[in-house]
Structure 1
Amino acid sequence: MGRKPNETPEIPDDMFTPASPGIVTKAETSAAPLTFWQEAWRRLRKNKGALAGLITIVFLIVVSLIGPLFNEYSYSQQDLVRSNLPPKIAGLEWLGFDGTRSSGENTYEERGITANAWFGTDEFGRDLWTRLWKATQVSLFIGVVAAFLDLLIGVVYGGISAFYGGRLDNVMQRIIEVLVGIPNLIVIILFILIFEPGILSIILAMIITGWVGMARVVRGQILQLKGQEFILAARTLGTSNGKLIWKHLFPNVMGPIIITVMFTIPSAIFFEAFLSFIGLGLQPPLASLGVLIEDGYQSMRFFSYKLIFPAIVISALMISFNLLADGLRDALDPKMRR
């Protein structure tokens, strides 16, 4: 028999199948969604290179703080009897840390020295284990302080320039263009002529022009954000400028700011090492990684261990900070979210 035009067709029971036990339940779908920072941390943990960099940085910071405590010698203590001792570590003689030079000479036995020097000593008998970790502390301190000051000045300067715009923005950007044209090396030489070479003069020379990059990043981000709908809606509701900056604009530029800071720290460490290497940085007995590398370079033909250990530490710091910065850039980029 034919079916009438308005008659609903019958659906056989065999067309329906029961739901599988693995179907997502309501309880599972009602879980609280991840916040932006939780999602960023989850993506960062999946980046093996960035995680390895973070672990290495933490390890070097901890060792630099507690390392000198395991040695009875200070970083500036001189003892000419212990001058130019090769590395010697009890229990690790099979790895080459037996206090014997490549020529087969055992300086420890000849001088009647019983105490070990884990990384050897320099020409003045100063223990390189203690000096290396003190130097790491100084280099990290310079890098972190310089990055923090760049962050502070750059965020304030770039934020004001972009938020208020107009003639003020034009004037502030012309000032930046002038500062960009000043070479850092000339600035550090001028500061050395005014101040004595030291940590203060190096940090001041770095922040004279170092904050310019941060200011440009912040300015670009705020110019992009301040014309969007949520900012216009906040203005329409009568939100004050201060609240607009700290509650709406600033949190949305935190990602690029963090990434820029993570790239600034290794740049500052390398710049300090370069200045110390050419003799414009810290002066002995103060120690930094650049100072130790310069000392090791002078005698690397006969005492290569003086150069090897600080070179390994500064290379590990530079690589780790760059790996972490690359990982943060991917983790904080909304486009990378899956």
Structure 2
Amino acid sequence: MVTLIDTASAAARRHPEKQKRPDSPVGRKPEWIRVKAPVSEGYKETRQIVKSKGLVTVCEEAACPNIGECWEKKHATMMILGDTCTRACAFCNVKTGLPGALDAEEPDKVGRATAEMGLNHVVITSVDRDDLADGGADHFAKVIEAIRHHAPGTTIEILTPDFLRKPSAALDRVIDAGPDVFNHNLETVPRLYLSIRPGARYYHSLRLLERVKERAPRQFTKSGLMVGLGETREEVMQVMDDMRSAGIDFLTIGQYLQPTRKHAPVDRFVPPEEFATYESIARAKGFLMVSASPLTRSSYHADADFAQLKAARAARG
């Protein structure tokens, strides 16, 4: 049995650049990675707040499997800078194409929504905006500042683009806005970048996270990997070492899930016990916090994980 998330026509609208690619089968998921459809009242309430504020969430745009669980608890990862990405990564379900103009009122909308939802911890991510001179850095900073204004007790986690080929001042502007956690995902091992993340550069992304630590040593840094794309265990461990050399505090590892037939195929479904092994190895390498499971995503359980992250730093002194 094959289950598709998007119809062919919908996929073509969202990913026109992928339509000339050959189809890849989308196989049946193993039992350990299936989730129930969201139907709870908490989910509906969160959805209503998001829609009423005119906000975009990566939960919906990236077809996250955890949306039901997270939205039931009023945890939503807000996506800024529009809903259209200038890149075409082989794994991503976010719409690609030519983005529209920035919404100057978006920072205030996000700040007010954060306060209305009563969030203790909020995660802000975005599409890539290679069309903007600063990659959207100033907009990111304004969103952080608006959240600080409307919800001063809320801790802020950001998941940023790589600001590739942008002035160094762009990244510094975001760092100086003072997020509590600065996340940028490496996504996969260097060997697979050309096919999986062709618009990015592995060592640039690694250097970005290192720069955060140089400029703001007390800011937590975080990065994530997908597995099941054809990487080897040795390659994953080498990425862990690279991350530790860059001072990254928090590592997430989750199973890649293929959004449509036109996206990169799943090489294999990694079993839960293998994720447990990765977590043990990562902790031994010195990460303050590790989340590794088939359904782990960058912002999954982000509020609880942030509390553990702070506790782990305090315990190390």
Name the TM-score, length of structure 1 as normaliser.
0.21
- Relative to total residues, which structure has the larger strand share, 1 or 2? 2
- Flag the structure with more relative contact order, 1 or 2, with Cα contacts below 8 A and sequence separation at least 6: 1
Computing the radius of gyration from Cα coordinates, the structure with the larger value is: 1
- Relative to total residues, which structure has the larger helix share, 1 or 2? 1
Name the TM-score, length of structure 2 as normaliser.
0.22
